Amino acid sequence: MNNSSNDTILKVEDLAVHFPVGGGLLGRSRRYLHAVDGVDLELKRGECLGLVGESGCGKSTLALTILGLQEPTRGRIVLDGHEVAREGMDRKARARIAQMVFQDPYSSLNPRQTVRRTLEAPLRLHGITTPSEIDGRIAEMLGRVGLRPDHAERYPHEFSGGQRQRIGIARALILDPKIIVLDEPVSALDVSIRAQIINLLLELQETLGLSYLMISHDLGVVEHMSDRVAVMYLGRIVETGGWETIFTNPRHPYTRALISAIPDPFKRSRGDKITGEIPNPLNMPTGCGFHPRCPEAREICRPSPVPELQEVGEAHLVRCRRVHEIAAPRGALVSSG
């Protein structure tokens, strides 16, 4: 597990992000919210890793930390062979490796800048100043994302949501990065537009050899796009494995609950649902974070420390003490029908 090989483009080790909450003024003891709490992650060249979990699980904080928008409390981030903290990698160097596509195509474009300015400014910043080269790169990029060259002179409000997301993708790709973080890339779009953007992202991944870290709560999209999937709950990864393993043979009760919570149009039952709400992250349960909601929880799940991730199959890790006692899913959860 520890030899970082050449085909790893992003490696995250024991990453933690703790936010101070309330109080704190002169001496009063601060409490810390453990948004991300010891995450190990590896993204291979050319693969799409789906990061799944509900609000407050830390998936967005994890992504922002990888991009340098959030300072980690501890841990290591290695981007394309460069260890970010040790090399003191600056924003510009990081920008040429990792970029991001945002969820909301409305707030993610500067309303006062034309598409050309949005794409030109980063090129200039990174030393591409020849007008002909800039024009060429912009035209090529607009073509790649399915926009016309004359769209460059327009302002964001002249575009539909789907087109705006294409502009956001063009901006993320303009510096030729290797990693793209996709933060819920289609969930803010009209349902009839989503397929266009999903197909575009998959095409771009293949032609440009991109690696995606995709955050999503839409399991249909995650299953469609991901090569591997990591499921997060309360700041920790609770299960990770190949997409097929996760979707046909999920072993962590939380992963199973997520899948069975998706309403099935044919009203088939997908398994047990869970009850209760995500605990307040300031008041974390002891032991396994999921035990208060877990239908399989027993006494063994409650005491500290947090259970370790254990390997239950090829590259299939589960953070559950009872994983070998819980019955394998009745048939495959989603492949029937």
Residues 152 to 181 in contact with other proteins, rule: CB under 8 A? 157-163, 168, 171-172, 175
Does residue 198 touch other proteins according to CB under 8 A? yes
Give the whole-angstrom CA distance, residue 247 versus residue 225. 13
Residues 126-145 that bind other proteins (CB under 8 A): 126
Residue choice 98, 115, 204, 318 for contact with other proteins (CB under 8 A) = 98
Residue choice 199, 206, 282, 303 for contact with other proteins (CB under 8 A) = 199
Does residue 282 touch other proteins according to CB under 8 A? no
DSSP calls for 90-157: -HHHHHTTEEEE-S-TTTTS-TTS-HHHHHHHHHHHTT---HHHHHHHHHHHHHHTT--GGGGGS-GG
Pick the piece of the chain touching other proteins (CB under 8 A) from 39-47, 122-130, 206-214, 234-242.
122-130
Give the whole-angstrom CA distance, residue 52 versus residue 303. 26
Residue choice 125, 282, 300, 315 for contact with other proteins (CB under 8 A) = 125
CA nearest neighbour of 281 among 9, 114, 31:
31
Instruction: Name the residue nearer to other proteins (CB basis): 194 or 251.
Output: 194
Instruction: Name the residue nearer to other proteins (CB basis): 102 or 212.
Output: 102
List Cα–Cα distances, 61 to 12, 215, 255, in angstroms.
13, 11, 20
CA nearest neighbour of 14 among 23, 1, 31, 26:
1
Site string for other proteins, 8-37 (x = CB under 8 A): ------------------------------
Does residue 220 touch other proteins according to CB under 8 A? yes
- Catalogue the E-assigned strands of the chain: 8-21, 31-44, 48-52, 74-79, 82-83, 98-101, 179-183, 211-216, 228-233, 236-242, 310-313, 316-318
Does residue 221 touch other proteins according to CB under 8 A? yes
Does residue 107 touch other proteins according to CB under 8 A? yes
Give the whole-angstrom CA distance, residue 333 versus residue 337. 10
Does residue 219 touch other proteins according to CB under 8 A? yes
Respond yes or no on whether the N-terminal peptide bond of residue 72 is cis (omega within 30° of 0): no
Give the whole-angstrom CA distance, residue 69 versus residue 10. 16
For residue 198, the minimal CB distance to other proteins (Å) is 6
Residues 37-96 that bind other proteins (CB under 8 A): 54-55, 67-69, 90-96
Q: What is the DSSP letter of 301?
A: G
Does residue 310 touch other proteins according to CB under 8 A? no
Does residue 103 touch other proteins according to CB under 8 A? yes
Residues 258-277 that bind other proteins (CB under 8 A): 258-267, 273-275, 277
Instruction: Name the residue nearer to other proteins (CB basis): 40 or 186.
Output: 186
Pick the piece of the chain touching other proteins (CB under 8 A) from 76-84, 99-107, 294-302, 303-311.
99-107
Does residue 122 touch other proteins according to CB under 8 A? yes
Q: Is 307 helix (H, G, I), strand (E, B) or coil?
A: coil
Q: What is the DSSP letter of 195?
A: H
Residue choice 28, 86, 112, 330 for contact with other proteins (CB under 8 A) = 112
Instruction: Name the residue nearer to other proteins (CB basis): 54 or 310.
Output: 54
